[in-house]
Each structure stands twice: as C-alpha cells, then as structure tokens.
Structure 1
Amino acid sequence: MIKIPPYLKKGDTIGITCPAGYMAKEKAQTCIDTLQSWGYQVMVGKTLGSQSKNYFSGDDEQRRNELQAMLDDDSINAILCGRGGYGVSRIIDQIDLTKFKKKPKWIIGYSDITVLHCHLNQKLKIASMHAPMAAAFNDGPNEFIQSLQKAITGKKGNYKCAAHELNRKGKVSGELVGGNLALLVNIIGTASDINTKNKILFIEDIGEYIYSVDRMMYQLKRSGKLDDLAGLIIGGFTDIKDTERPFGKTVYEAINDIVKKYNYPICFGFPVGHSKENYALKVGVDYELTISNKQVRLSEI
C-alpha cells in the first residue's frame, strides 16, 4: 500500500534545494514569487545559486546534507527540487529516510529526480510528484504549472492529449511509476530499482541519440521491465539527435519497434518531459489510462 504525504494548505512551507546540477538563483526567482503568491512560505537552500565552480550545486556532502535537513525539518511541508541534471545517484545511498518514513512530505521534480522518486517508491512505498521544477515557472502561467498548483493541494489530475498514429487502444488502471528513461535504466540492479509489474510506466528523455534510446529500451526489455505492464506512456523525447549515418527511424518508431509485441495499451506523445508541456504526475498513485481513436486520457483514481 502506497502512503500519500499530506497535501499542502495556505501558509505551509516549501523548501527549494538543488540535489544535482547547478542553478543560478535568479532563474528561480519567478518560481519563488509564484509559490508565495499561492500562499506558501518558501525556504531557499544554499545549494540554489551556490558558489560551486563545477557542474554540481555544491559537493556531494553539501547537497546530501541540505536534502537531508529538508527531509527531516518538520517546518518544511514539501520539497521542490530546483533542477535536475545529474547528481542524485551520487548521494541517494547516504540519505537517512528514517524520519521521513514516519512523516513523509511531497518531493517534487523530474529528470535526475527520477532516482529519488523510484527510491521512495521501491524502498518506502511513499508517493512523490514528477512535476515542473523552478525554471518552468519562467514560461509564465500555463496549464502545466497550474497542474502542479492543483496537485500539491490534493486535486486529482485528469489530463488528456491528442491521439498518435502509433498508439495502441485500451483502458487500464494501475499504479503510475516511471520518469526519465536514462535514469530508469541507470538504477536497474540498484537499491532504487523499481518493480513495474501490473503498473502504468511512463518514460521521457532529452538530448539523446536515437540509437541510445533504442539501446536503453532494449535494456528495459531485457531486464523484464516491459513484460507485465498494465500500460505504457511514452512522453516527450526532446532535442533528440541522429548520427552522421542515420539510424533509419524516428525515435518514436524505434521505441515502437521494441514495444509493439506487447498486448497492453500504449500511447505516444503524452505531455510529460523536458519541455513546457509537462503535467504534474503523482508517482505511486493509481491512475486510469484510456486510449481511444480520438484522444488519450490519464485520470487519477
């Protein structure tokens, strides 16, 4: 049974931390202002706009300690990760989740934060939120930022998108798991590795070569992650590159060649991923996926 953290109410505090890549504080200012306009207090960690001179928002110890402090701080009601990038895998095994398990709170983010979502799902059976991070607020008010605003207050997500020619029709329900494809592959065989049996899996990615996506999908297949799904959601695959000698297929065609043998419903092009079109999804929560000739609907149960 998945445990659902308490939803937020006006006056609650949202902590912002960067457990992975560096983010300049000014790029998060609109996010901070918006969260405050929604009625929340905001506690900004030192990793946001840190003095780090390399890729990360501080060394491993600094990032780990700040995340740990926010997980343990009873005055913080939710944690919004400033950005993803890379870095959570380096610190996840040193995080003490003893107190968090007793008093969970919503962890919000995507991309590299997929590692944290999967870890909480597999180790603690606690729900978390795959959703826009700080920079997304710079796009101005839109339905995707609004989906986060609604989700953190407990409103059930009910999303739809246009049908895709590669979709496989059907209607299923199940626990929603997933995130960034590269990270889902990266955690196979680790303590964060997730069980996908009878679940709705969603995947997305950015900046990969088509052959690399093909290779990662084969790793999911060979490790059994695709065998017994309730359904599969293919999200955005943005800034995808091809080799000088072309792979010969689009990224969606490459994915479809691998998954078309399965009998469960599959949709392509769902609005989740590294773009403005990124709905807030509650990882570990039950959803109903309906794929018809005209549209796709994903509804929280």
Structure 2
Amino acid sequence: MIKQPPYLKKGDKIAIVCPAKKLPKPIDYAIALLERWGLEVVIGKSVYAESHQFAGTDELRAADIQQFLDDKEIKAIIAGRGGYGSIRIIDELDFSTFEKSPKWIIGFSDITVLLSHIFAKYETQSMHAQMPYTFEEATPESLLSLRKAIFGETQSYEYESSFQNRAGASTGVLIGGNLTLLCFLAGSASEIDYDGKILFIEDVGEQEYSIDRMLRMLKRAGKLAKLKGLIIGAFNEISEEKIPFGQTADEVIWDIVKDYDYPVCFNFPSGHIDNNLTMIVGAKVKLDVENNKVKFKYI
C-alpha cells in the first residue's frame, strides 16, 4: 500500500536542508516565499555549512536530515539544492520514525536518491520539484505547482511537444527523476521497481553518448520493457562533442524505446529548467498523449 504523507496546512513547519552541495548564494527569496504561503520555515545546520564542495561534512548533513526525519513537528523537508552528495549519506539515515509517521521530502536532481529510496523501501510518496536554490529563476507556474502539491490541491498539466510523441493513454503509478541517479541506484536498496509504472526522466549536462549509454543500460536490465508510459523531461546544457554523435537527445531516446508500445511523450516541463513542474513520485496519474499534445493528471 503506497503511503501518502499528510498535506500541509498554514502554520505547519517545513525544514530546509542541504544533503549534497553547498549553497553558492543566499536563499532569502525562497524562505520569504514559503513564509508567504503560510509555512513556518526551519533552517537546518547544513544550509550554511561548508566542507569543500559539500554543505558540511557527510556526518553533519546526515545528522541534519535525521533530526528533521525524527521531529514530528516538521511536516515536510525540502532540499536547498542538489549537486552531488546524497548518495554518500543515504545509508546512514534511519527511517524508522519516518516510516511510522511519513512526511513530504521535496527536491530534484541529486535528491532523486532520497525520493527513490523512500519509495523503494517504504512505498512513500515524495515531490520532485523546484528547490530554494532555484526559486528565484523558477516560473510562476512551477512554483504554483509546488504550492498546490504541498497543500493537496488537485492539478493537471497540458503542453505541446516539439518532438513527435508516441500516442496513447495510460494510468499508473509515477516514478522517476534524474536519469544519471536512477542508473547509479541500480542494484541497490534504493532502486524502484519499474514494472507497470509510468516513468519520467530528465538530466542536465550529459552528452548524447552518455544519455544513449544510460538508457541502453536500463533497457538491457529490463527496466523499460514493462512500463505503462514514458515521460521525457528536459535534457539540456548538452555540450558539443569533438566528433558529433549524430543524434539529438530526443532522437537517442526514441531510438531506444521505439519498439515498445506504451505512450511516450517528449519535452515534458520537468528537470533543470525554469518551468520545472512538480511531479509526485508514487502518485497515481493519467497520461494522455497525442502526436504533439500531452495531458497529465493526478487521479
């Protein structure tokens, strides 16, 4: 049975932590916005900590998250930013209190480690969404999607894809996140069962050959064959190779999944982009895909 943490209400406490890289700039804008939403913001020790490129030592970051996992007054934990580092501390965290009294974990990019882990191990929903580090550049739509998700408001997304989709309709449980992290979690306790799910993926700064390699790894491992749908988010900031790969990221992905029969949509507004819409990992969703039009709804 998939667990849905209680939605927040005004006056609830939300904690900000940094499980991975240190923050390169203040997040006062994000703190003020969360407070305008009616939430009480609690700042973790890792938010202003530094240890080389990390937001404090592994021990400090793990202890910081652990404190808020165990604190029943904290109703949600949002990562200040991603980067790299969550995989260094995931096995040090004790989720026994969280398992009995789940709360929302929010973030994207490197935070895929946490989102995947709590669904794989505890069948608990989480939010792949904008983080305080990205709030200032985020679109109003993406921040609204986070606010609605936090407070449990019904929402759906519609958009037009510039790359032709594979049409179809499907309902299923949503899983996914950053492609690199999903691959690095393979074979571990944090790996989600892909069968019968609707998968969404995104990534940033990966060249086409790397995207090709990671998707082929998932295909060879049998992770793509039994999906109910595939949502392709943003694959951006791809640097040009000295010898061109010969395919765009979308073409790479299509070539790998073209022989399956489930709906596939491209250019979904999710990932390392300003319009990073909130995706609830573990939620049941309906996906309607036409050649270039996509409708996505939580059900």
Does the alignment reach a TM-score above 0.5?
yes
Deviation at 1:135, TM superposition (A): 2.0
Specify which of 103, 117, 120 is matched with residue 118 of structure 2.
120
CA displacement, residues 129-158 of structure 1 (integer Å, 9 cap, x when unaligned): 000001222126611001000100001230
Match of 1:137 in 2: 135
The reply to whether residue 11 of structure 1 matches residue 11 of structure 2 is: yes
Cα 1:271–1:141 change in 2 (3 A) is closer
Name the aligned partner's letter for residue 192 of structure 2: I
- Give SS of 1:196's match: coil
CA displacement, residues 71-94 of structure 1 (integer Å, 9 cap, x when unaligned): 101111100100011111111111
Q: Partners in 1 of 2:121 and 2:226 — Cα distance?
A: 21
Moved over 6 A (4+): none
CA displacement, residues 69-128 of structure 1 (integer Å, 9 cap, x when unaligned): 011011111001000111111111111000000000000000011011111111000000
Specify which of 277, 283, 286 is matched with residue 285 of structure 1.
283
RMSD across aligned positions (CA): 1.1
Q: Partners in 2 of 1:164 and 1:121 — Cα distance?
A: 32
Q: Partners in 1 of 2:25 and 2:40 — Cα distance?
A: 17
Name the aligned partner's letter for residue 179 of structure 1: G
Name the aligned partner's letter for residue 292 of structure 1: E
- For 1:217-296, list aligned pairs within 5 A: 217-296=215-294
Match of 1:48 in 2: 47
- Give SS of 1:19's match: coil
Unaligned 5+ segments in structure 2 are none
Q: Partners in 2 of 1:23 and 1:98 — Cα distance?
A: 29
Aligned length: 299
| Residues 235 and 269, structure 1, Cα contact 8 Å, conserved in 2 | yes
CA displacement, residues 223-277 of structure 1 (integer Å, 9 cap, x when unaligned): 1110100000000011012310100111111111101111100000000000111
Q: Partners in 1 of 2:79 and 2:181 — Cα distance?
A: 16
- For 1:81-120, list aligned pairs within 5 A: 81-120=79-118
Q: Partners in 1 of 2:154 and 2:12 — Cα distance?
A: 20
TM-score by length of 1: 0.97
CA displacement, residues 15-51 of structure 1 (integer Å, 9 cap, x when unaligned): 000001111461x11000000011110000111121x
- Give SS of 1:138's match: coil
Percent identity of the aligned residues? 49
Match of 2:30 in 1: 31
Q: Partners in 2 of 1:231 and 1:53 — Cα distance?
A: 41
Q: Partners in 1 of 2:124 and 2:225 — Cα distance?
A: 24
| Residues 138 and 275, structure 2, Cα contact 8 Å, conserved in 1 | no
Match of 1:166 in 2: 164
Match of 1:58 in 2: 56
Match of 1:73 in 2: 71
Name the aligned partner's letter for residue 71 of structure 2: D
| Residues 24 and 49, structure 1, Cα contact 8 Å, conserved in 2 | no
Match of 1:22 in 2: 22
TM-score by length of 2: 0.98
Cα 1:169–1:140 change in 2 (3 A) is closer
Deviation at 1:13, TM superposition (A): 0.5
| Residues 205 and 237, structure 2, Cα contact 8 Å, conserved in 1 | yes
